[in-house]
Amino acid sequence: MEKLMQAIYGGIVYGSIFGMMALGLTLIWGALRMLNLAHGSLYLVGTYIAFTLVNILKVPMVPALLIAALGTAVVGFGIQTLLLNRILGKPGWDVGSLIVGVGVGMAIDQSILLIYGPRVKQMPPLIPGIFKIGRVVINYNYLVVVAVAVISLVLLSVFLSKSRHGLAIQAVSQQPDAAQLMGIPTRTVFLIVMCISAALAGLAGALLSTVYQVQRESGANAMVMALVVTIFGGLGSVKGTIWAAYIVGLLQSFLMVYLGAGTALPGVFLFMMLMLVIRPSGLFGLGEAQRL
Amino acid sequence: MLKVTDLEAGYGGSVVLHGVSLEVRDGEAVVILGPNGHGKTTLLRTISGLIRPSAGRIEFDGKVLSDMSPADIVATGVVHIPQGDLPFPELTVLENLLMGAYLPEAWKQRKEKLEQVYELFPVLRERSRQLARSLSGGERRMLALGRGLMSNAKLLMVDEPSLGLAPFLIEEVYRKLHDINKSGLSVLLADENADHIAGFADRVYLLEMGSIVGEGTAEDMLKNEALLAAYLG
C-alpha cells in the first residue's frame, strides 16, 4: 500500500515535470515542423538564471522563477528572429533547423561552462520541510513544483483551445496554407510559439534547480525525457503529450519503487519501443504526414 | 474592384501563368473556366499572395496586392476559399469558423457573422461541436464557404466549388454562392466545366495553358457552344 502510494506520488511529480518540458517541444514541432534540439539548453538557461538570481543576487524565489521564464523566452525570441527566420520557408528547412538547434545548444552549454565553471551547485528549496502520509514522505518543495507545473499546463491548454491567438497556433499547425488564407500571420505565430516553448523550458529548469543539483548535464537529461514523452504521445498533439507525460512519469516511478532505480530508464525506453511498434504515430498521433 | 494586369507566375523555375489580365467589378460574379492543370488554381493562389508573381500587377480597390503578405491581402477584403476546402481537421466546426474571423475587425463582429453563416448553412450549426475531420464531403464544402464568409470579405474567390461532390450537392453549393453574390459580395470562381454558369455568372473568362483565350458575358459564352466545346472538351 505504501509502495503503491509512493509510486503514484512519484509518478505525478515526474509527469508534471515531463509535461512542461515535452509540451514546449511538441508545440514547436506542431507549428514549425522542427525538432528543437536546443530545448534542453533552454532548460539550462532557466536553471542558471534562477541560480544567479537566488544564490548570487539574493532575489526571492518567486520573482526569480518568473524572471527565469521570461529571460528564457527572450532567448527563444532571439533564436527565432536572428537565426530561424533566415531559413524559414526555404528549401532544406528540415536539416537546417536541426543544425540551428544543435549549434544553439552547444553555444549555450559551452557559455554556461565558461561563465559558471564545471562545479555542481546547489539551490535552496522553494519551501523547505516534509510531512508524512503513513510512511510516504511528502516533500513540500515537490508539491510546489507539481502545482506550478499543473497550473502552467492548464493555463496553456486553455489559451490554446479558447483564445483567438491560441486557436491560431493550432490552425497554423494543422493547415498552414488555410491559416494564411484566414489572414493569420504565420511568422508571428511561430515567434509566439517559440517564446512560449522557451518560457516553459526555462520555468521547468528554474523549478527543478530546487530539486536536483545545478549542473550542465541536467539539460540533456530533460531533453531526452521530453523527447520520449513527445514521441510516445504523438508529436504535435498537445492532449497526447500531457497524457503521455503522466503515463511515462508513472511508469518510471513504478519501475523505481517496485524493481529498483536502475530499471527505470531502460524500462521506459523498452516501453517506448514497444509502443512505437504497436502505434507508430504515438498514443494520439496525428497521422502519417506529421510524423518525424 | 479587382484588376489583374499581365500577371506572370509559377512554381520554382516553371512559369504557369503567361501574362493573364482580368477584372472583377463591384457585385459581379465572374467565372474562370479552363481544363485542369491550366493555371486556375495558380492564378487564385497568386492573387491571394500564396505565390509571388514574377511580373505583372494585381490591384484591389486601388491597393496594389502583388507585394503584400497573404495576411495583409485578406485584410483588404480579398478572401480565397481554397481547392479541397483545407479545413483545420482537429478543430471543431465552430473553431474553424472562428478562425475565418481571425483578423481584429472581423473578430469584433464574430457573433453576428456566426449567426449569418449558421442561417445560410444550418448544417454547420448542427455540427458546430464536431471535429472538422468528421464531416462529410458536402459538409466540408459548406464549412469552407462559411469560414470564408466569417471574414470581412468584399471579394470571395472560390476554387472549384464542384470538385468531388455529388451532382445534387453541386447544385446546392452553386445556389448558396448565388445567394452570397446577390447579397452584395463579388465572387470570382474557378471551375472546369460550364454546367453551372447559366443563371450564376455575369462574365466568363477562358483560361488555357496559362493565358486568357476568351472573354465575354455568360450569355454570349453559352451561345457560343463551339468555343466552349473546343476549350473544355
**All structural domains of chain A with their residue ranges:** 2-290
A219-223, B42-46, B223-227 — which one is most confidently predicted on average?
A: B42-46
Q: Which of residues 4-43 of B touch A (CB under 8 A)?
A: none
Grid coordinates standing for A246?
A: 503522466
pLDDT digit string (tens) for B109-148? Answer: 999 999 999 999 999 999 999 999 999 999 999 999 999 9
Q: Is residue B17 part of a domain?
A: yes
Whether chain A has a CB inside 8 Å of the CB on B131: the answer is no
Residue B4 is part of which domain span?
1-68+190-233
Whole-number pLDDT of residue B175: 93
Whether chain B has a CB inside 8 Å of the CB on A114: the answer is no
Max Cα–Cα distance, chain B, nearest Å: 50
Cβ proximity of B28 and B202 under 8 Å: yes
Mean of the per-residue pLDDT values of chain B: 92
Whether chain B has a CB inside 8 Å of the CB on A177: the answer is yes
Q: Locate the chain A residue with the closest alpha carbon to B76.
A: A183
Least confident of A127-131, A223-227, B17-21, B32-36: A127-131
Burial A15-42 (b: 16+ CB within 10 A, else e): bbbbbbbbbbbbbbbbbbbbbbbbbbbb
Grid coordinates standing for B187?
A: 465572387
Q: Is residue B116 part of a domain?
A: no
Q: Is residue B163 part of a domain?
A: no
Residues in A closer than 8 angstroms to B49, CB to CB, are 180
Phi, psi of A46 (to 5 degrees): -60, -45
Total beta-carbon pairs less than 8 A apart between chain A and chain B: 67
Nearest Cβ partner of B50 from A177, A183, A184? A177
Q: Do B50 and A171 touch (CB under 8 A)?
A: no
CA A63 to chain B, closest CA, distance in angstroms equals 34
Whole-number pLDDT of residue B9: 94
Closest C-alpha among B66, B95, B96, B94 to residue B78: B66
Q: How confident is the model at residue B69 (pLDDT cuts 50, 70, 90)?
A: very high
Q: Do B88 and A185 touch (CB under 8 A)?
A: no
Question: How many contiguous H segments (helices) and E segments (strands) does chain A have?
Answer: 12, 2
In this structure, chain A runs to a length of 292
Whole-number pLDDT of residue A261: 85
What is the rounded distance in angstroms from the CA atom of residue A50 to the CA atom of residue A54?
6
Residues in B closer than 8 angstroms to A171, CB to CB, are 88, 91, 99, 102
CA A242 to chain B, closest CA, distance in angstroms equals 17
Whole-number pLDDT of residue A289: 43
Q: Is residue B77 part of a domain?
A: no
Whole-number pLDDT of residue A290: 42
Q: Do A171 and B91 touch (CB under 8 A)?
A: yes
Whole-number pLDDT of residue B232: 65
Q: What's the fold here for domain A2-290?
A: ABC transporter involved in vitamin B12 uptake, BtuC (1.10.3470)
> How would you write the pLDDT of chain A (292 residues) with one tens digit per residue?
788 988 999 999 999 999 999 999 999 998 888 999 999 999 999 999 999 999 999 999 889 999 999 999 999 999 999 999 999 988 899 899 999 999 999 999 999 999 999 888 888 888 888 888 888 888 888 899 999 999 999 999 999 999 999 999 999 999 999 999 999 999 999 999 999 999 999 999 999 888 888 888 888 888 999 999 988 887 777 888 999 999 999 999 999 999 988 888 899 999 888 888 888 777 776 554 443 3
Report whether pLDDT(B229) > 80.
Answer: no
Q: Locate the chain B residue with the closest alpha carbon to A165.
A: B102
Q: Do B48 and A181 touch (CB under 8 A)?
A: yes
> Strand, helix or coil at A36?
coil
Q: Do B102 and A178 touch (CB under 8 A)?
A: no
Whole-number pLDDT of residue A288: 43
CA B88 to chain A, closest CA, distance in angstroms equals 6
Mean pLDDT of B72-82: 96
Residue tagged 515535470 (cell numbers): A17
How many domains does the structure of chain B reveal?
1
| CATH classification at residue B209 | 3.40.50.300
Cβ proximity of B170 and B162 under 8 Å: yes
